[in-house]
Amino acid sequence: MTSAADLRHGTDDVGACLFPTAIGRVGIAWSRSGVRAVQLPERTDSATVARLRRSAPGAVIADPPASVSPVIRRITAVLEGQRDDLADVELDWAGVGDFERRVYELARRVPPGATTTYGELARLTGAPGAARAVGRAMGRNPFPIVVPCHRVLAAGGRPGGFSANGGVDTKRRMLIIEGAPGLGEPTLFDQPG
């Protein structure tokens, strides 16, 4: 079994852990190249780990290495309402196609509390008719929160889809936590904690 110490010392293995946040226990997987995947909470921890392993096959549950602990703290703070774009978090792009990577890099430029559309991201990729392809890429995003797919909406400000547990309600809750305009004030049920 691989330990967190092995992962810090440059093996190709992937480690993973769950950590508590305002929206539930989030999963994160890492390799020596960076964050391999982030998984929003599912109904159970085992379901969260199983879904995390879709993007990080073979991930071994371990204590996070020193390079990942600050990322965990920052994601936790973001889900409590702190503004941090997480744009400097190193990602492990293994298994991510060229188009998806371009879409994810563009989505990372959308600041906390702001939104864009699938169509706008398609235009920025140089493929203005590819809004549906952008939507599919967002649905497969292995790095939610770090790649803020929740900030990408359908035309006319409609929420579009969201593949996390809770669907569009989770997307809306994350946007409210960030203070995105047009969603109203947080209610007791929307507020972190």
Please identify every residue annotated as catalytic. Answer: 149
Helix (H, G, I), strand (E, B) or coil at 37: strand
Helix and strand numbers (H, E) in the chain are 7, 6
Residues paired with residue 20 on neighbouring β-strands, in sequence order: 25
**Using an 8 Å Cβ cutoff, are 163 and 139 in contact?**
yes
The span from the CA of 144 to the CA of 142, in Å, is 6
Cα distances (Å, whole numbers) of residue 166 to 76, 122, 139, 175? 19, 26, 14, 14
